[in-house]
Structure formats: C-alpha cells, structure tokens
Structure 1
Amino acid sequence: MTIERIKNLLDADVLFGEDHLDKEVNYAFSSDLMSDVLAYADDHPALITGLCNPQVVRTAEMLDIICIIFVRNKVPDQKILDLAADKNIVILRTAHGMFTSCGILYSNGLPGGI
C-alpha cells in the first residue's frame, strides 16, 4: 500500500515527506515500545505509534521503516521532524487512536505485523 493511500485512509496530515508519498509499505506495525519494534518489525512496515520522541525516528532508521504515523494528534517537535527529514522518513499525524488506525488500514488490505 502506498503512503499516500495510508494518508487518505487515516485522514492524516503530512508533517514531513510530501514528496515520498508514492513509496510502498508492506505492512503496519503498531507499538509504543521501541524494544518491541526492534525485536519484531522488518520488511518495510509503516510504524504506528503514540510515542512522540526522537527515539522513534532512530528506531525507524535502524529498521528501514519509511513511514511513521503518530496517532491521537500527537505533534512531534522540530527536533523529531528534522531528524526524520535527515533520514527521509515520512511523518504522518492522524486524529485516530492506535486501535482505530490499525483497524482502518487492516480492513483496507494492509496486513499487520506480529
């Protein structure tokens, strides 16, 4: 599924990466525990999280995650956005909660991770 389709399904704002919306993600992985992301995520997922700190971007970089979706209208600070820009990681923000975001994407054909 393209990041643009994810953006549209979640009625999300693009906070960084408007020019990368054509990239494909293979599945969605949701967690607020970056240790779980490190242990279980692979193969270019979109990361759905409510955790809003630079460690999320650093974790995404280590796993080649190309899109981070912040739920519950979380607003990452400029340091997080600058780090994402440096790593070319798309940042989306949605008003939906994590469970609803996962449900929307799953019901539209994006599989989930472990």
Structure 2
Amino acid sequence: MRLAEIKGILNATVLWGEDKLDREVFSACGSDFMSDVLAFVKNQALLLTGLVNPQVIRTADMVEMKCVVFVRGKMPGMDILHLAEERDIVVMTCPKRMYEACGLLYSKGLRGNCDGDN
C-alpha cells in the first residue's frame, strides 16, 4: 500500500515528506511503547503511535520504518520533524484513535508482521 493511500484512508495530514507519498509499505504496527517496537517488530514500514517525542523517530529509524503516523491529532514539534527529515522518515498526523486507525488499515489489506504472526 502506498503512503498516499494511507493518507487518504486515515484522513491524515502530511507534516513532512509530501513528495515521498509514492513509497510503498507492506506492513504496519501500532504502539506507544518504543521498547516493544524494538523488541517485537520486524520488517515493518509504518508506525502508528500517540507518543510524541524524538525517541519515536529514533526508534522508527532503527527498525527501518518509512513513515510515522501520530494518531489522535497529535502534533509533533519542529525538533521531531527535523529529526524525521534527517532520517528520511515521512511524518503524518491523523484525527483517529489508534484502534480505529489500525483497524481501517488492516481492513484495507495492510497487515502486521510481528514475531509469531503467520
């Protein structure tokens, strides 16, 4: 699924990386616990979170995410956006709660790929 399609499904606003919406992602995860992302997430491309701090971008970079979506209308500061730009990670915000955002993406075919999933 392309990031442009994710933007539409979630009614999201792109905060950085509008020119990179042609990137394709094959899986996603939703978490506010970056330690869980580091411990359990493999081969992900999209992170949905309500946690707004620079550690989100650092974690996303470590597991090679292409995009971070801040849910519940959360707005990251410029420090986070600058870090995302440095790491080439698209940043969006959407008004939906994490449960709904994950459910919408799952229903449109975007799956998770955590350890133990088949």
The TM-score bracket by the shorter chain reads over 0.9
Secondary structure, counterpart of 2:92 in structure 1:
strand
CA RMSD of aligned residues (A): 0.8
The match for 2:79 is: 79
Shift of 1:43: 1.4
**Which consecutive unaligned segments of at least 5 residues does structure 1 have?**
none
How much does 1:44 deviate?
Answer: 3.4
1:37 CA displacement: 0.3
Alpha-carbon distance change, 30 to 113 in structure 1, aligned in 2, over 3 angstroms: farther
Matches within 5 A, 1:1-114: 1-114=1-114
Q: Runs (4+) of structure 1 moved beyond 6 Å?
A: none
Partner Cα separation in structure 1 for residue 51 and residue 22 of structure 2 = 25
Q: Distance in 1 between matches of 2:60 and 2:112?
A: 17
- In the TM superposition, what is the alpha-carbon distance from 1:113 to its structure 2 partner? 3.5
Contact 2:29/2:44 (CA < 8 Å) preserved in 1? no
Contact 2:44–2:113 under 8 Å retained in 1: no
Question: Could you state the TM-score of these two structures normalised by the residue count of structure 2?
Answer: 0.93
Q: Give the distance between the partners of 1:4 and 1:40, measured in 2 at CA.
A: 27
Count of residue correspondences: 114
> Contact (CA 8 Å) 2:68, 2:90: kept in 1 or not?
yes
Unmatched runs of 5 consecutive residues or more in structure 2: none
Check the 8 A contact 2:27/2:45 in 1, yes or no: yes
**Secondary structure of 2:60's partner?**
helix
